Amino acid sequence: MSFMDAINQAIVNAARQQGAIPAAPAAAPVEAAAASGAAAGGAGGFWGAVVTFGRVPLFFYVLQWCTAHLSGIVVTAVQGKSIDGYFKHLLDYFQHPPDFGGPLWTVYVCWIVSLLLIYPLCRWFAGVKARHREWWLSYL
């Protein structure tokens, strides 16, 4: 068992002792938590969303990058600042004017809105992957 596996196991055990997650097979604690949430009358809740995002990791990764940059452009434009920094050459990308960016709460708002926007797309794509068993879909 690696060091990270031991830490992950310790976190899961501590959460189980506090009742945060139900006892489940060690192979799939998140899947079991999502199933228990769905069985309790909910649609899986938080754990259901986590499982949905986990079923389409590369698709989620690409979408979150696109929405992060798009939301950054929108917030910068709404603040009345120049959006030229988003379209710079990679070598010049880290040279920003002193007033570049905004308050931290805007990052959190954009992150939550982005997650809410891409969740239906990830859920749809998870359904596509479940219905179609082509080998290349497993990489997305």
pLDDT in tens, 39-84: 433 457 889 888 999 999 999 999 999 999 899 889 888 888 888 7
Would you say 126 and 55 are in contact if contact means Cβ atoms under 8 Å apart?
Answer: yes
pTM of the model: 0.61
AA identity, residue 122: C
Please indicate, yes or no, if residue 31 is contained in any of the structural domains: yes
Q: ∠ CA 99-112-78 to the nearest 5 degrees?
A: 35
The DSSP call for residue 84 is G
Residue at 35 is within a domain: yes
Q: Are residues 26 and 67 in the same domain?
A: no
Q: How many helices (H) and strands (E) does the chain have?
A: 5, 0
Angle between helices 57-78 and 45-55 (to 10 degrees): 110
Residues 112-127 have pLDDT tens digits of 999 999 999 999 999 9
**Count of domains for the chain:** 2
Which residue in this structure is represented by tokens 């976190």?
11
Place of tokens 């990270």: 4
> Which one-letter DSSP state was computed for residue 11?
H
137: containing domain: 56-140
